[in-house]
Amino acid sequence: MGSIAWKRASVSTLACAALLTSVAWAGSPAADAAPLESGDVTATTTGSDDATNGVAETEWGDDTSKQGKRASKRTGSWDASLDLGSAFSTTRSIGAQAAWALGVTGKDVTVAMVDTGTAPVAGLDDGARFLDGPDLSFESQEAGTRYRDGFGHGTHLAGLIAGADRGFDPKRPDPSLFAGVAPDAKLLNVKVGTGDGGADVSQVIAAIDWVVEHRDDAGMRIRVLNLAYGTASTQSWQVDPLARAVENAWRNGILVVSSAGNDGSDGSSLLMPAVDPHVLAVGAVDHRGTIATDDDTVADFSSVGNDERRADVLAPGKSVVSLRAPGSNADLQHPEGLVAGDDEGRYFRGSGTSQAAAIVAGEAALLFDAKPRLTPDEVKAVLMRTARPLGQADPAQGAGVTDVAAALALVRSKATPDVAPSALPASTGLGSLEASRGGEHVVDPGTGIALTGEIDALGSAWNGAAWVAAQHQGATWSKGLWNGRAWTGEKWKDKQVLGVRWTGDSWSGKPWADEGWSDDVWQARSWRGNSWKARSWREESWKARSWRSLS
């Protein structure tokens, strides 16, 4: 985390060559957990009416420039090469296809995605590249919902990061086959959000800690963490525990890509943790329906931030087409996200800074592939240094629109970035867990009791000082335990981290064993209350700004 001085900076080469010791915490006693066979959970949430939390919400559909109609007009079937929002057009415009032509495809790099899970659809079905990490969501207790995306958000982003159809050849991109930005990268799915989007900030922090402490497990080499999540934290990033968690990942060699948020000019700042200057905050660019770039603008939903903190870069986030999760919340509630002329029904269209962040996560994987010794600071600096400024000045653009072809040219040149240590302080992480929630809370659907105060999602007391001490030792997780309770198993089987049955009482005082879990990924109960205004995983707030895309 630091500033950068450039010794030499020539980016013409590629740009012109072709038109990404273990301790247990203080808290509840650590009980032995039985292996998880089956179970089911869901959640409801409540929150302040003006909060802005959760998954950077996606606006599904949002095809204001009628790309789908144009791309299917000729034959009636959708042609990805004629749709500016398709993965084919996007990877071409950002320079990813130029990188592929040089053999840079994200191979041997793992991107961890903390989100709502993934669906095993075509494009995400390569068992060698797609792994399921621990499911820390309220849907982890049943086999039918574990790891799986009942919301539709995680599947959309996973496709953009590293999806690839069988038979896809990066050297000869075919618009009839789907491919994300880093088609040979591995992707680790760490699910924290339920089918209605319910997730507590403590689940996200636990997920980040797990990624850091298991970054080299099972043949992985995690160098990128995609976090299309944010809260309207009411405290400074200098003390916020979520900020501390992402900074710890960064210090351990993992580039954290965070969506800026979808509040447009309405929000007073970027979401947490994007507001933390030690991570890479991504906003969205709007192509305005034209191939030309001189009329591109910051998307109207992309959070503007303030003079203290803006998005670092922009990436395509308007009307982006990626993989559909059939039967998911987004799929059922937002038929406008379906792509006109898509004869196979594989694709879904959405807008949001979530999509933009996913694209940049893929770009980062390409750069780590090209030069594995790069640090997160160097990758951030390279992406910002080579970004293309918009035609019209706008402070919300940060350095401009990423250009991974130019970034790769710089990385492969003799120009070496000299990154100086940042003068900014690190987060202490000693702030309030409740303040980090930003006014929104998951709710036990059986009792109606909201999770509030200094309590984590399993019901254990939160001790920030003990957590920070464990983090210093690289031991926030110990044999599936986090904050004194067993959240997940520790063994891998068939590219998945096995789950465990939750024990003890929930935050509402009800034993976890008494919860009525649903085994149907599409029928799970809601963990969020009716007043949840978060910008994230849930269907009611598709206009909100968080984990979701704008469709």
Domain range summary for the chain, segments of one domain joined by +: 51-412
Task: Please check the confidence at residue 384 and state whether its pLDDT lies above 50.
Answer: yes
Using alpha carbons, select from 346, 351, 387 the residue that is nearest to residue 15: 387
Tell me the pLDDT tens digit for each residue of 518-542.
Answer: 665 544 455 554 434 333 332 233 2
Tell me the pLDDT tens digit for each residue of 352-373.
Answer: 999 999 999 999 999 999 999 9
Task: Please check the confidence at residue 24 and state whether its pLDDT lies above 50.
Answer: no
CA distances from 256 to 109, 314, 356 (A): 14, 15, 14
Structural tokens at position 350: 């959405």
Structure confidence at residue 336 (pLDDT) = 93
- Does CATH place domain 51-412 in 3.40.50.200? yes
Structure confidence at residue 345 (pLDDT) = 96
Using alpha carbons, select from 455, 377, 366, 437 the residue that is nearest to residue 406: 366
Task: Please check the confidence at residue 118 and state whether its pLDDT lies above 90.
Answer: yes
**Between residues 124 and 197, which one has the greater pLDDT?**
124
Alpha carbon 129 to chain centroid, angstroms: 18
Structural tokens at position 126: 């390569």
Give the Cα separation of 133 and 499 in Å (integer): 10
Tell me the pLDDT tens digit for each residue of 245-278.
Answer: 999 999 999 999 999 999 999 889 999 999 999 9
Task: Please check the confidence at residue 53 and state whether its pLDDT lies above 80.
Answer: no
Enumerate the active-site residues.
115, 153, 354
Using alpha carbons, select from 236, 287, 227, 225 the residue that is nearest to residue 261: 227
Give the Cα separation of 58 and 423 in Å (integer): 35
The packing angle between helices 404-412 and 376-385, to 10°, is 120
Tell me the pLDDT tens digit for each residue of 179-191.
Answer: 999 999 999 999 9
The values of phi and psi at residue 370, to 5°, are -65, -35
Burial of 120 (0-12, 13-18, 19+ CB in 10 A): middle
Strand partners, 280: 257
Mean pLDDT of the chain: 85
Instruction: With cut-offs at 50, 70 and 90, classify the pLDDT of residue 54.
Output: low
Give the Cα separation of 31 and 485 in Å (integer): 7
Give the Cα separation of 198 and 46 in Å (integer): 10
Q: Which of 39-53, 81-95, 295-309 has the lowest mean pLDDT?
A: 39-53
